[in-house]
Amino acid sequence: MRNSDIDAVHAIETAVFPSPWSRAMFMEESARENDRVWIVAEAGNELLGYAGIMLVGEDAHIMNLAVRRDARGRGLGSALLSAVIDGAVCRGAVHVTLEVRESNVAAIGLYESAGLHDVGMRPGYYSGGGENAVIMWSDDMNAPGMQARRGQLAARAESVLADFELHDGSELVLGIESSCDETAASVMRGGNELVSSVVASQIVFHSRFGGVVPEIASRKHTEAIVGVIDEALARAGESLGLDGPLPIGDLSAIAVTHGPGLVGALVVGLAYAKGLSLATGVPLVGVNHLEGHIFANMLADPTVEPPLVALLVSGGHTSLVHMPAWGEYHTLGETLDDATGEAFDKVAKVLGLGYPGGPILSTYAADGDPAAIDFPRAMMRSGDYAFSLSGLKTAVINHIRHEREAGREIDIPDLAASFQQAVIDVQVSKSVRAAEECGVKMFCLAGGVAANAALREALREALEAIGVRMSVPPFALCTDNAAMIAAAGTYRFRRGERLGLDAEAVPGLRLG
């Protein structure tokens, strides 16, 4: 720890501890070189944690250790602990001691992993509330068992630090997406800065069938994938001011969607990503497509963060997800049959309006009366978060048949508006209840159907009425793309997650 580190150290200290040390105390500590070891952990220009130990004869007393909140859960605490203990042992310390708040179970667990154990209690030790201190103490650090434990801790610390070096906040990650009918590749810097994004849509090849045909999707991905990835690397090179395409070796990771989706489509992106990783040694990271859709919100607006609830509505999915913290997902409920976008597509198909049906029907709906036809609101009062859209779809199709048989002309705007309103009513009602029950202040709308203006507005209004902010990404990030996969992949990469070359596509991959 240098004097120039003290501002950043003090900022972490005040954010983390209820009765923090003052800046002057750190200045005083860093000046004492003979009987102290103070170290900091940095990545790039960011200071992420620090630890200090005091030497008193053969004892070493750990005085302070903290890790910035957003850098936790990646092993930095044990790396810092290992480093200060080794520093003290090098200077002749035999035993390590410390006091820790009784309520700080995470810290107690960390110290236990370094071989310290509980030897007593100091009642009411901490000022401001008088919380008890647990006193911890180690056996002889040079005893064979303790030496082995220190060796293990140091090895783990080394791998943690090597991993941190790879991502100093500006790492380049290539994202690859091929789960449905979009072949996409994107390069992102630091998890939220878009360097390049290329999406090759197959819509024209599926449109005459009125929906995605899996065999066609698979074949089209195979045809497109090489060109799409090359183009993403070429555009990345251009926007980074390089002479040619971004070399794959400059990437910190390759992130690929490994589920959920169509198996024959997923395998194309996954196999290509594995090949790139094997040939270049760049680590491979697997991303859940639905997590990608949620990360599209963070990409568009960095102030979006958990705890939140997300409504994922696309051609393939309809689900409500509770995200209490980064990386944690609880699926509250999902569709029992058709996805929302799929219902729009099928209704449009019956009316002979073309594919995809969502944008077409919502354009008609803008001119229609949402109360013209009373379609069923399925599961509206089911008391859970499950959805069902096939009954509504059948009701609409029966209505169309009935009108045609009766020789009446169908009022497409009224039909579209009434169908759309039935969808919206159920989704808004369940979304509001989910936000209330989970007690969140943030809500994300994601997936292709998030482009539906009426749904956005109804949901925003209902959520604002209960004090919840709604986020929705720009259209290009709502529909399938690889930028969202690279963003979620950067997060997974930073957590040290890797996909092995033996990994398979998981068409039914769950979130969380």
Tell me if 202 contacts ligand KG4 by CB under 6 A. Answer: no
Question: In terms of CB distance, is 297 or 314 closer to Zn ion?
Answer: 314
Helix, strand, coil shares of the chain as percentages rounded to 5? 45, 20, 35
Residues with Cβ within 8 Å of 398's Cβ and at least 6 positions away in sequence, in order, are: none
Could you tell me which stretch among 237-245, 263-271, 302-310, 449-457 binds ligand KG4 (CB under 6 A)? 449-457
Q: Out of 259, 447, 473, 489, name the contact with ligand KG4 by CB under 6 A.
A: 447
Question: In terms of CB distance, is 115 or 316 closer to ligand KG4?
Answer: 316
Give the DSSP letter string of 143-199. Answer: SHHHHHHHHHHHHHHHHHHHHHHH-SS--EEEEEE-SSSEEEEEEEETTTEEEEEEE
**Integer angstrom CA distances of residue 106 from 305, 354, 478, 496:** 23, 57, 38, 20
Q: Which of 270, 275, 308 is nearest to 289 (CA)?
A: 270
479 contact, one of Zn ion, ligand KG4, none, CB 5-8 Å limit per kind: ligand KG4
Q: Which of 294, 308, 302 is nearest to 440 (CA)?
A: 308
State the number of binding residues for ligand KG4 (CB under 6 A): 20
Question: In terms of CB distance, is 77 or 357 closer to ligand KG4?
Answer: 357
Q: Nearest approach, Cβ of 192 to Zn ion (angstroms)? A: 20
What strands, in cross-sheet order, belong to the sheet with 308-313?
330-334, 318-323, 308-313, 442-446, 469-471
Residues with Cβ within 8 Å of 168's Cβ and at least 6 positions away in sequence, in order, are: 43, 44, 45, 46
Question: In terms of CB distance, is 115 or 447 closer to Zn ion?
Answer: 447
Question: In terms of CB distance, is 1 or 339 closer to ligand KG4?
Answer: 339
Instruction: Report, in angstroms and rounded to the nearest whole number, the Rg of the chain calculated over CA atoms.
Output: 28
Q: Which DSSP state fits 387? A: B
Peptide bond into 260 cis (omega under 30): yes
Contacts with ligand KG4 in 306-325 (CB under 6 A)?
Answer: 314-316
Q: Out of 451, 468, 472, 505, name the contact with ligand KG4 by CB under 6 A.
A: 451
44 contact, one of Zn ion, ligand KG4, none, CB 5-8 Å limit per kind: none
- For 42, other C-beta atoms within 10 Å of its C-beta total 16
Residues with Cβ within 8 Å of 323's Cβ and at least 6 positions away in sequence, in order, are: 294, 306, 307, 308, 309, 310, 329, 330
Tell me if 314 contacts Zn ion by CB under 5 A. Answer: yes
- For residue 344, with 0-12 CB atoms within 10 Å meaning exposed, 13-18 middle and 19 or more buried, which class applies? buried
Between 454 and 483, how does the x/- string for binding to ligand KG4 read (CB under 6 A)? -------------------------xx---
Specify the DSSP element, H or E, that contains 100. strand 95-101
Tell me if 180 contacts ligand KG4 by CB under 6 A. Answer: yes
Question: In terms of CB distance, is 293 or 430 closer to Zn ion?
Answer: 293
Residue 440 CA to residue 244 CA, distance in Å, equals 46
The answer to whether the CB of 315 falls within 8 A of the CB of 323 is no
Q: Nearest approach, Cβ of 447 to ligand KG4 (angstroms)? A: 5
362 contact, one of Zn ion, ligand KG4, none, CB 5-8 Å limit per kind: ligand KG4
Question: In terms of CB distance, is 163 or 480 closer to Zn ion?
Answer: 480
Between 475 and 504, how does the x/- string for binding to Zn ion read (CB under 5 A)? -----x------------------------
Between 395 and 434, how does the x/- string for binding to ligand KG4 read (CB under 6 A)? ----------------------------------------
Joined together, the tokens standing for residue 11 give: 């900022």
Joined together, the tokens standing for residue 104 give: 């700080």
Joined together, the tokens standing for residue 92 give: 């002749």
Residue 315 CA to residue 434 CA, distance in Å, equals 22
Q: Nearest approach, Cβ of 208 to Zn ion (angstroms)? A: 22
Q: Nearest approach, Cβ of 470 to ligand KG4 (angstroms)? A: 17
Question: In terms of CB distance, is 286 or 358 closer to ligand KG4?
Answer: 358
Q: Which DSSP state fits 509? A: P
Query: Taking CA 335 as the corner, what is the angle to CA 334 and CA 340, rounded to the nearest 5 degrees?
Result: 115
Q: Nearest approach, Cβ of 316 to Zn ion (angstroms)? A: 6
Q: Nearest approach, Cβ of 374 to ligand KG4 (angstroms)? A: 21
Q: Nearest approach, Cβ of 472 to Zn ion (angstroms)? A: 15
357 contact, one of ligand KG4, Zn ion, none, CB 5-8 Å limit per kind: ligand KG4
Q: Nearest approach, Cβ of 329 to ligand KG4 (angstroms)? A: 17
Contacts with ligand KG4 in 323-362 (CB under 6 A)?
Answer: 341-342, 344-345, 356-359, 362
State the number of binding residues for Zn ion (CB under 5 A): 2
Contacts with ligand KG4 in 147-176 (CB under 6 A)?
Answer: none
356 contact, one of ligand KG4, Zn ion, none, CB 5-8 Å limit per kind: ligand KG4
- For 279, other C-beta atoms within 10 Å of its C-beta total 9
Question: In terms of CB distance, is 368 or 448 closer to ligand KG4?
Answer: 448
Could you tell me which stretch among 10-18, 70-78, 358-366, 473-481 binds Zn ion (CB under 5 A)? 473-481
Q: Which of 151, 120, 156 is nearest to 135 (CA)?
A: 120
Contacts with ligand KG4 in 480-499 (CB under 6 A)?
Answer: 480
Q: Which residues bind ligand KG4 (CB under 6 A)?
A: 180, 314-316, 341-342, 344-345, 356-359, 362, 447-449, 451-452, 479-480
Q: Which residues bind Zn ion (CB under 5 A)?
A: 314, 480
